[in-house]
Amino acid sequence: MGMTIAEKIIATHSIPQKEKVIPGEYLWAKIDETNASNAGYKLLKKLGIKEVFDPDRIYVVYDHEAPPPNIQIAEKVSEIRRFVKEYGITHWYEFGRHGILHQLFPEKGYAVPGDLIAMTDSHSTTYGFLNAASCPINIELIYVLIKGKLWFKVPESIKFELTGKLPEMCVGKDILLKIACDYGTDVGLYKSIEFLGPLASDMSLESRWTMSNMGVELGAKFAIFEADKKTSDFLKGRTNRSYTPVSADPDANYKKEYAIDVTNLEPMVACPPDPSNSKPIRELEKEKIKIHQGFIGSCTNGRMEDLKMAANVLEGNKVHHDVRLIISPASMEVWKDALKAGLFDIFIESEALICHPTCGPCSGLHMGILASEERCISCSNRNFQGRMGSIDSEVYLANAATVAASVIEGVIVDPRKYF
């Protein structure tokens, strides 16, 4: 019996290295890259640890409350700066000058096919779009920082075979929300999700990026695509590391296999309180749901594909007078590309607010906090109760075109009328 992508990657990183691993097996594996936070710094100091396993493979990106909105957060960032200097961390990126971790990390070429990555952010499944096995961790970070390895229970793998051609105004976000709707947010619980099939190859790298990012919303340990020419084209000039793409064996054993034909897919909208409560826009539009804010950005949908979709809808239109629209490109690279492409002219004319790269609006920590009984339609990844502000507010998730169309009309609407 052959191995899946995840099993192959774990096998090549196992300590001692094994030729084959099986689901349910416990083992140690070396970690290629990780990140760090002020919590990690405090634990290192408390334990008297003087050095980390490799300062060049630890990345510190401060993106959540960026820039600091209050003294408490400013002190936390100051603490992180001390950590970076004291432990000689090579890669330090502070708020809006660079970008959001899950955008910046691939842009800088730090993740490549075949990597095993563990980071302290729940959306660290993101790097699966580059054919890496990447997962979120929590308190285990301290051990990774010291030893550069971590124990794993080899996950079972499930396969989503993606076929058909994406209809207009539909992107990877809509596929992911459709999967969450049909199969639930626990379909991938502690499993490696592998997105395969003709559509997985045909779709843009940015749509794959979004789907791997939101793999954790399906409970996934990993959310992986195969590498192809789009992957290598993206990495060209970004990394000097050699890498070998990883594919599943023809006889790989999957716990379950799902067939997803997107031919009749519509733009999807996730209603509160989680992504599984998703509906096709045609159904939701009938409800005339009033909104107060739109958000286009985050590590999920703050890339050029998303900004171009939004601009195509917003061009020649104004944001509704009862609504505000916040746009935050996911990195300064995206920010500059959007500026050069003339997208900012369209956004400014539509009366949107363009911000620096930050997690602020998505995480509800600052910038665009919702008041009670307000609703936001957002390109971000989560719509849990109180996610973007008041516990009495509501968040709806959609692609950038749906957000743009909705902020024009003041209610959630089908963007295809603007195509």
Give residue 37's pLDDT band: very low, low, confident or very high (50, 70, 90): confident
State the pLDDT at residue 364: 80
**Segment 150-202, tens digit of pLDDT:** 999 999 999 999 999 999 999 999 999 999 999 999 999 999 999 999 999 99
Determine, yes or no, domain membership for 397: yes
Average pLDDT over residues 358-365: 84
Do 288 and 358 sit in the same domain of this protein?
yes
Average pLDDT over residues 53-59: 96
Instruction: Report the candidate in 272, 270, 274, 277 with the shortest Cα–Cα distance to residue 403.
Output: 270
Determine, yes or no, domain membership for 243: no
Do 370 and 392 sit in the same domain of this protein?
yes
Residues 6+ apart with CB under 8 A from 408: 313, 314, 317, 318, 319, 320, 350, 418
Determine, yes or no, domain membership for 244: no
Average pLDDT over residues 285-299: 97
For residue 395, what are the β-bridge partners? Answer: 376
Do 293 and 394 sit in the same domain of this protein?
yes
Give me the chain's average pLDDT, please: 95
State the pLDDT at residue 305: 98
Do 138 and 41 sit in the same domain of this protein?
yes
Instruction: Report the candidate in 345, 346, 351 with the shortest Cα–Cα distance to residue 319.
Output: 351
- Residue pair 29/13 in contact (Cβ under 8 Å)? The answer is yes
Helix axes 304-314, 205-213, angle to 10 degrees: 110
State the pLDDT at residue 66: 83
Do 17 and 133 sit in the same domain of this protein?
yes
Determine, yes or no, domain membership for 246: no
**Segment 322-333, tens digit of pLDDT:** 999 999 999 999
Domain of residue 319, CATH code: 3.30.499.10
Question: Is the previous residue joined to 16 through a cis bond, with omega within 30 degrees of 0?
Answer: yes
State the pLDDT at residue 71: 95
Do 31 and 72 sit in the same domain of this protein?
yes
Do 395 and 355 sit in the same domain of this protein?
yes
Report the percent of the chain where pLDDT is more than 90: 90
Report the percent of the chain where pLDDT is more than 70: 100
Do 291 and 173 sit in the same domain of this protein?
no
**Segment 122-144, tens digit of pLDDT:** 999 999 999 999 999 998 999 99
Do 309 and 408 sit in the same domain of this protein?
yes
- Residue pair 376/292 in contact (Cβ under 8 Å)? The answer is yes
Residues 6+ apart with CB under 8 A from 52: 36, 44, 58, 87, 89, 145, 146
Average pLDDT over residues 382-404: 96
Do 218 and 343 sit in the same domain of this protein?
no
Determine, yes or no, domain membership for 93: yes
Determine, yes or no, domain membership for 241: no
Instruction: Report the candidate in 209, 201, 203, 200 with the shortest Cα–Cα distance to residue 331.
Output: 209
Do 68 and 206 sit in the same domain of this protein?
yes
Determine, yes or no, domain membership for 266: no
Q: Which two three-digit tokens encode residue 313?
A: 């809808």
Q: Which domain holds residue 218?
A: 5-236+253-261
3-class secondary-structure state, position 256? strand
State the pLDDT at residue 359: 87
User: Does residue 39 register a pLDDT over 90?
Assistant: no
State the pLDDT at residue 388: 92
Determine, yes or no, domain membership for 17: yes
Give residue 367's pLDDT band: very low, low, confident or very high (50, 70, 90): confident
Give residue 114's pLDDT band: very low, low, confident or very high (50, 70, 90): very high
State the pLDDT at residue 96: 58
Rounded to two decimals, the pTM is 0.96
Average pLDDT over residues 369-390: 95
Task: Say how many domains are in the chain.
Answer: 2
Do 257 and 276 sit in the same domain of this protein?
no
